[in-house]
Chain A
Amino acid sequence: GENVEQHPSTLSVQEGDSAVIKCTYSDSASNYFPWYKQELGKRPQLIIDIRSNVGEKKDQRIAVTLNKTAKHFSLHITETQPEDSAVYFCAASRWGGSEKLVFGKGTKLTVNP
């Protein structure tokens, strides 16, 4: 079945450093890859997403890259701040997100002041 692998499971960085989280998906039909940020006890919130016809997308300090051939996509956060501390989930979906999201296991990011 569909599977999304996410690494690392935990990541600790110093404020101002960059953070990179990587995901690999198995379903070749996936064409939509969102990233969600979840603070403790709260709902997952979309922070950035990318379609399979785009290789890279950037929004201020956040960027996502996609390698369709390798079925690999990554989240890059630059100039990290303590408020970036949270659990980040990658996901994959068919039909531009109109079908179920298959989530990775999550990465707990800690940004130390």
Chain B
Amino acid sequence: DSGVTQTPKHLITATGQRVTLRCSPRSGDLSVYWYQQSLDQGLQFLIQYYNGEERAKGNILERFSAQQFPDLHSELNLSSLELGDSALYFCASSVARSGGLGVTDTQYFGPGTRLTVL
């Protein structure tokens, strides 16, 4: 158990719908990262939040949005869903130190949410 929790585990929905995925980071971690894992694209970074603020964006579609709340949990909102959005969505968390020499910042992954769009 990594200490990162995600809900729900599975989500089945129809095209055009909107869903919300939730992530709670490990205690003490300030940064949350969202990744999408699909068969053809592998593990792709979507977005990072640090202490409530957006820090970095990857190849995240405009239909997708995220936020990090004061208690540091994060939500990923996916709207106007398409068949191609079916994937495993992982969040990871880390302390997000400065990254100075000799310091590493391990990203711990949650169990993921499997999204199926029919």
Q: What's the Cα separation between A98 and B103 when bound, in Å?
A: 10
CA distance A101 to B109 in the complex (A): 12
Q: How large is the interface on B (under 10, 10 to 19, 20 to 34, 35 or more residues)?
A: 20 to 34
The yes or no answer to B42 lying at the interface (CB within 8 A) is yes
Q: Are B112 and A43 touching (Cβ within 8 A)?
A: yes
> Could you say which residues of chain A place their CB within 8 Å of the CB of B106?
34, 46, 49, 97
Give Cα distance in the complex from A91 to B44, angstroms: 11
Asked whether, in the complex, the Cβ of B105 is within 8 Å of the Cβ of A98, the reply is yes
Which residues on A are within 8 Å of B, measured CB to CB? 31-32, 34, 36, 41-46, 49, 51, 53, 89, 91, 94-106
Residues of chain B touching chain A, judged by Cβ–Cβ distance below 8 Å, are 2, 31, 33, 35, 42-45, 48, 56, 58, 90, 92, 94, 96-112, 114
Known contacts A44-B90, A53-B101; 9 additional CB pairs below 8 A are: A36-B109, A43-B110, A43-B111, A44-B43, A46-B108, A96-B99, A96-B104, A96-B105, A100-B45
A and B contact pairs by CB, cutoff 8 A, 23 listed = A32-B105, A36-B109, A43-B110, A44-B43, A44-B90, A49-B106, A53-B101, A89-B43, A91-B43, A95-B99, A96-B98, A96-B99, A96-B103, A97-B94, A98-B96, A98-B105, A100-B48, A100-B56, A101-B43, A101-B45, A101-B92, A102-B45, A103-B42
